[in-house]
Amino acid sequence: MDTKHLGINSKLIHAGYKADATGSVNVPIYQTSTFAFRNAAHGAALFAGEEDGFIYTRIGNPTIRALEDSVAELENGCGGIATSSGMGAVCTVYLALLESGTHMVSTASVYGPSRGLMEKDFSRFGVQSTYVDTSDVIQVEKALRSNTKVVYLETPANPTMQVTDIEQVSALAHAHGCLVVVDNTFASPYLQRPLDLGADVVLHSVTKFINGHADVVGGIIVAKDADIYKRLRKTMINSGCNMDPHQAFLVLRGLKTLGVRIERAQQSAIQIARWLETQPEVKAVRYIGLESHPQHELCKRQMSGFGSMISFELEGGMEAGQRLMDHVRVATLAVSLGGVETLIEHPASMTHASISPEDRRLAGYSDGLVRYSVGLEDVNDLIADLRQALDAVADAPDQESAVDLEENLATVGS
Ligand SMILES: *Cc1c(COP(=O)(O)O)cnc(C)c1O
């Protein structure tokens, strides 16, 4: 079916799907490493790229291709490249678009391993990088050098929830001859389509919203232009960070409900964010759907919704953050995000612990910051859960009795 003219929810269900001879409603899992050629001429034609088809699963596979075609269409790109993980996608992009002597400008509060891979590994091969607050276009402009080849954006960024104007930065980067890559994991193509705003490449950790069920690790890259797509695809194939067919099948299943999951989670997120703003233990709430968010107006223009990621700062700093982690019952204490279950984590002692306290302060958040990924539980249960956990934070920091824990459990009915 040609799905180009359909709305996004129809695309989520139908894009990328091609019926096979059995009429299977879902794309089968082609659990095979290799594909038989009809004859020598067929094999030669496939290798020469004269005929479309499949050779070997690292190069391509029908289940994986269905996912690639679907996300490429959702992002309005010319082709998708599924990878073993989100970091496989980041690594492929760096490998394909940068080389010794070139330079990249990146969002300072980019996903930690995306920065670590560049600063610790690519630097050994002579690739340079600078990290700035890309929500301030002046800082991006100042960081550009004559050898800058890539401007790498993550928006909304983690855990600061800073938002970069993709259109504005893309215009600036293109005027300097640079490519723009956007890590669109936090928004998903349901809420934000960076290629439409001027970016050249978009990537995702599909582990998060796109799959949405906390049962797969995977990634995907989509390019706007065919030449860049081919370059990226060749790098992925040769570096071996391909997705596998079963992974692709699960992600395709998750993808179909992306729209309803996000709609529901963001309805809860705004309620929780507004409620958090009124709690005395909470110093600040960072949610792009709140009018108090500094880039709320930009988000309204650039995105079609505000998503379900909330960060909030506790008055009590590091200790309060850790105590809150120990007292939530409905939310699960775990890293990752974008799944059906609500996840909570404490960046200063967990995901961002390797960043020095000074760098965390410079990036604009305190040790009391909590990251909260709103899932699909009943919003009243989530609010009651946070309230009882905040009560525990407010209590004297000595050991509380087992009786208190029992009471807390009873009030939220875990
Ligand atoms: C999780 C994440 C990644 C890395 O993805 P993996 O699937 O864990 O390898 C990259 N970028 C962002 C924004 C993420 O949240």
DSSP state of 399: P
Q: Tell me which of 208, 224, 261, 286 is the catalytic residue.
A: 208
User: Would you tell me how many other CB atoms lie within 10 Å of the CB of residue 10?
Assistant: 13
Distance 335 CA to ligand 1 centre (A): 11
Q: Residue 102: CB within 6 Å of ligand 1?
A: no
Q: Residue 154: CB within 6 Å of ligand 1?
A: yes
Concerning whether 372 is annotated as a catalytic residue, the answer is no
Mean pLDDT score of the chain: 94
Q: Are 337 and 309 in contact (CB under 8 A)?
A: yes
257-291: b (≥16 Cβ within 10 Å) or e: bbbebbebbbebbbebbebbeebebbbbbbbbbbe
Q: Find where tokens 């079609």 sit.
A: 304
- Average pLDDT of the residues in 11-24: 91
Has residue 403 got a pLDDT over 90?
Answer: no
Query: Residues 131-178: pLDDT tens digits?
Result: 999 999 999 999 999 999 999 999 999 889 999 999 999 999 999 999
Has residue 364 got a pLDDT over 90?
Answer: no
Residue identifier of the C-alpha nearest atom 2 of ligand 1:
205
Distance 221 CA to ligand 1 centre (A): 12
Query: Residues 270-305: pLDDT tens digits?
Result: 999 999 999 999 999 999 999 999 999 999 999 999
Has residue 396 got a pLDDT over 80?
Answer: no
User: Would you tell me how many other CB atoms lie within 10 Å of the CB of residue 238?
Assistant: 13
Q: Are 116 and 269 in contact (CB under 8 A)?
A: no
Q: What are phi and psi of 355, to 5 degrees?
A: -85, 135
Which residue of 206, 207, 220, 335 sits with most ligand 1 atoms within 8 Å of its CB, as the best mutation to test the pocket? 207
Q: Residue 208: CB within 6 Å of ligand 1?
A: yes
Residues in the chain: 414
Has residue 230 got a pLDDT over 50?
Answer: yes
Q: Residue 83: CB within 6 Å of ligand 1?
A: no
- Give the tokens for residue 32: 């095979």
pLDDT score, position 409: 52
- Give this prediction's pTM: 0.94
pLDDT score, position 410: 52
Domain borders along the chain are 8-30+61-255, 258-413
Has residue 213 got a pLDDT over 80?
Answer: yes
For residue 354, name the pLDDT band (cuts at 50, 70, 90): confident
305-333: b (≥16 Cβ within 10 Å) or e: bbbbbbbbbbebebebbbbbbebbbbbbe
Q: Residue 181: CB within 6 Å of ligand 1?
A: no
Has residue 122 got a pLDDT over 80?
Answer: yes
- Average pLDDT of the residues in 224-243: 98
Residue identifier of the C-alpha nearest atom 8 of ligand 1:
86
Distance 23 CA to ligand 1 centre (A): 35
Concerning whether 227 is annotated as a catalytic residue, the answer is no
Task: Please give the C-alpha separations between residue 241 and each of 8, 84, 264, in angstroms, as whole numbers.
Answer: 29, 5, 33
Name the β-bridge partners of 127: none
Which residue of 184, 188, 201, 205 sits with most ligand 1 atoms within 8 Å of its CB, as the best mutation to test the pocket? 205
DSSP state of 95: H
Which of 172-186, 238-252, 264-278, 389-403 shows the lowest mean pLDDT across its residues?
A: 389-403
Has residue 357 got a pLDDT over 90?
Answer: no
* Strand 79-83 to 219-223 pairing: antiparallel
Has residue 29 got a pLDDT over 70?
Answer: yes
Q: Are 186 and 169 in contact (CB under 8 A)?
A: no
For residue 380, name the pLDDT band (cuts at 50, 70, 90): very high
Q: Residue 106: CB within 6 Å of ligand 1?
A: no
Say which CATH class 8-30+61-255 falls into: alpha beta
Q: Residue 388: CB within 6 Å of ligand 1?
A: no
Concerning whether 233 is annotated as a catalytic residue, the answer is no
Task: Give the position, in ligand 1's atom list, of the atom nearest the Cα of 185.
Answer: 13
Homologous superfamily of domain range 258-413: Aspartate Aminotransferase, domain 1 (3.90.1150.10)
pLDDT score, position 402: 45
For residue 413, name the pLDDT band (cuts at 50, 70, 90): very low
Q: Find where tokens 């030669």 sit.
A: 44
For residue 361, name the pLDDT band (cuts at 50, 70, 90): confident
**Sheet architecture: strand order including 128-132:** 79-83, 219-223, 201-205, 179-183, 148-154, 103-107, 128-132
Q: Tell me which of 11, 30, 58, 94 is the catalytic residue.
A: 58
pLDDT score, position 414: 40
- Average pLDDT of the residues in 396-407: 51
- Average pLDDT of the residues in 192-213: 98
- Average pLDDT of the residues in 25-49: 97
Q: Residue 268: CB within 6 Å of ligand 1?
A: no
Rounded Cα distance, 17 and 249, in Å: 12
Chain centroid to Cα 357, Å, comes to: 25
Q: Which residues contact 384 (CB under 8 A, 6 or more apart)?
A: 330, 411, 412
Q: Residue 209: CB within 6 Å of ligand 1?
A: no
Concerning whether 183 is annotated as a catalytic residue, the answer is yes
